[in-house]
Chain A
Amino acid sequence: MTEVSLLKVQNLRVSYPIHSSILQRRIGENMAVKDVNFTISAGQTVGLVGESGSGKSTVARTIIGLEKADGGRIEFEGRDITQSTRTELKALRRDMQMVFQDPFASLNPRLSVQEIIVEPWLAHPDVVPKNRRASEAKALMDRVGLNPDYASRFPHQFSGGQRQRIGIARALALQPKLIICDEAVSALDVSVQAQVLNLLDDLKQEFNLAYLFISHDLSVIEHICDRVLVLNGGVVVEEGTPRELFENPQDDYTKRLFAAVPVIRPWLNGASSKPAGTIPRY
């Protein structure tokens, strides 16, 4: 990795303040992310796993600018973006987009699909000229596997998987280099999950996208990621390729995390679907 990495996170620290009940004075803080370091190169998919409360989402939200970092450094294409101003942040958002967890909550219920996909171009009018927006939106719908004839429908008329495709189309509209998927497939059922993952994989090839893929679902991570970070208590406890981690987890927490994956047919000892590593039998 000699080239400049797309995203570089160094010693990231994020905390949520705790305010006193009456005077709203800051009386403490809840450390969500203590010390996180990683890099993503162009076209790479990095997975972030960990249990609930491990700080996965906070890392994502801080990178995209929804939370403020308390310390550390986030670099995007070599530029420090930790203390970005509003205008810098706006420019940055062309290169970095996010797909949200809940496909039912992340789309404005009052906008049609076309309006949802066109919305990014209202913020960045130079990406697509006004007269071509409708046709471009339809092309994007087509690209993510939605029927462009449904452009005037509203989000509630779609299924969860279709909605997540709308969310992906919206993220793609700005032609970003990095897409952060915060539990993007966790709310979908397994077969739809696979379809959306395949879509993400195809798009990655086509647009040379990099993903920061956040999930608690290890099989999803294994399926899509080039590299995996295991997060526990706001600290990266282990890092490596999915193969390394799944076959030979080093850290104690990683071992326990992988062991917690339910085994579908525990009586079929030695079956090929059995996850590698030591699985404690209680």
Chain B
Amino acid sequence: MTTAPTTSAAPAMTKARRSRWGVHTRTLVPCAIIALIAVGAIFVPVLYGYDPLRVDLADRLKPPGSVLPNGSIAVFGTDQIGSDLFAQMMAGARVSLIIGAATLAIAGVIGVLIGMLAGYYGGWLDTVLMRVADIQLAFPAILLAVLLAAVLGQGVLNVIIVLSISNWVVFARIARSQVLALKDREYVEAARTLGLGNFHIIFRTLLPGSLPPILVVGTVELGHVVLAEAALSFLGVGVPMGTASLGSTIANGVQYLSTAWWISTLPGVLLLLLVLATGVLGDAVRDRLDPRLRSL
């Protein structure tokens, strides 16, 4: 294969090899970025002994690379209350990733289940579930978050609930459309003529066939959820004070933008990297699962 003769097939081969390489790169680089952020989020706050409530006014607003009085170097500088920005960003990334993963898990499971039931049974169940989804989509997530924060109070769990409520619809729609596309295939009818029950057909026959696009949506949604969490925290209805979050760190730095640009900018760049990486990853996963590109 690699020693293709220089015939008329050669340009196609080169193209194929290039796009295969492309898919590999587009999978590996985002994976590496996300993994790096995840590892940092797990270990950096521990190594730095990060305490979000510690105030050290002598060290506040130090630019990136400053040497602190205790001898350590603040790579990304310090924020307005003197805590190390790098440790704070990583603690924020930790919250973002936990919220992202938990939201995806909850919204994904509920959404896929509802979507598959709606698509499989159709009729009034489909109508009711999908109208609920439409109503849900029409209702702004931020408004819902403000409402829930007011009722339930702030907290990581509440943010997960809010984001799950506003994200299940995406999964439900994808799962439903997949089931609608698959359920009249002959192999599904064959399973029915074998005497297999609805449970088996939904979870053992239809679900595996529906998974690829759901996984793609899941990777893209991870970026959305992280961004939405940051937005909620930025607005002050997300995670409570005392819990670091990329969004709240950015919000804290806004009033110092002219004097200490790094407080808002660096967490923003990290957020950008994370969202971009998940987006590119989702795109690459889609290409990878596309049967027309599989032989490349």
Contact = CB atoms under 8 A, between A and B. Distances in A.
Is B a genuine binding partner of A?
Answer: yes
Interface of A: 64-66, 89-90, 93-94, 97-98, 100-102, 105-110, 119-120, 122-124, 167, 170, 174
Given A110-B208, A123-B200, A105 B193 contact: no
Interface in B195-225: 195-197, 200, 205, 208-209
B187 interface: yes
Interface in B171-207: 185-187, 189-197, 200, 205
Contacts of A93: 193-195
A65 B193 contact: yes
A66 B189 CA distance: 8
Name the interface size band of chain B. Answer: 10 to 19
Contact of B190 (A106, A109, A174): A106
A202 B240 CA distance: 75
Contact of A119 (B189, B196, B197, B208): B196
Contacts of B191: 108, 119
A100 B190 contact: yes
B194 A100 contact: no
11 contacts: A64-B193, A66-B193, A97-B194, A105-B186, A106-B186, A106-B187, A109-B209, A119-B196, A123-B200, A167-B190, A170-B190
Nearest to A103: B186
Contacts of A101: 186
Given A122-B200, A123-B200, A107 B187 contact: yes
Contacts of B185: 105
Contacts of B196: 119, 122-123
A4 to B, nearest CB: 23
A192 to B, nearest CB: 19
A123 B194 contact: yes
Given A100-B186, A102-B186, A107-B190, 15 more contacts: A90-B197, A93-B193, A106-B187, A106-B189, A108-B205, A109-B209, A110-B208, A110-B209, A119-B191, A122-B200, A123-B194, A123-B195, A123-B197, A170-B190, A170-B194
A94 B196 CA distance: 11
B128 to A, nearest CB: 14
A66 B192 contact: yes
B199 to A, nearest CB: 11
Nearest to A167: B190
A102 B190 CA distance: 11
A281 B191 CA distance: 47
Contacts of A119: 191, 194, 196
Nearest to A107: B187
Nearest to B198: A86
A241 to B, nearest CB: 29
B195 A105 contact: no
B213 to A, nearest CB: 14
Shortest 3 CB-CB distances between A and B: which pairs?
A93-B195, A123-B195, A106-B186
A94 B194 CA distance: 8
A38 B200 CA distance: 34
Contacts of A110: 208-209
A105 B183 CA distance: 12
Contacts of A122: 196, 200
A208 B205 CA distance: 32
Q: Which of B195, B205, B209 has the most CB of A within 10 A?
A: B195
A94 B195 CA distance: 8
Contact of B187 (A98, A108, A124, A174): A108
Nearest to A101: B186
A194 B186 CA distance: 23
A122 to B, nearest CB: 7
B208 A120 contact: no
Nearest to B190: A106
Contacts of A65: 193
Given A108-B205, A110-B209, A123-B200, A97 B187 contact: no
Given A98-B190, A102-B186, A106-B186, A124 B209 contact: no
Given A108-B205, A110-B208, A110-B209, A120 B186 contact: no
Nearest to B185: A105
Contacts of B208: 110
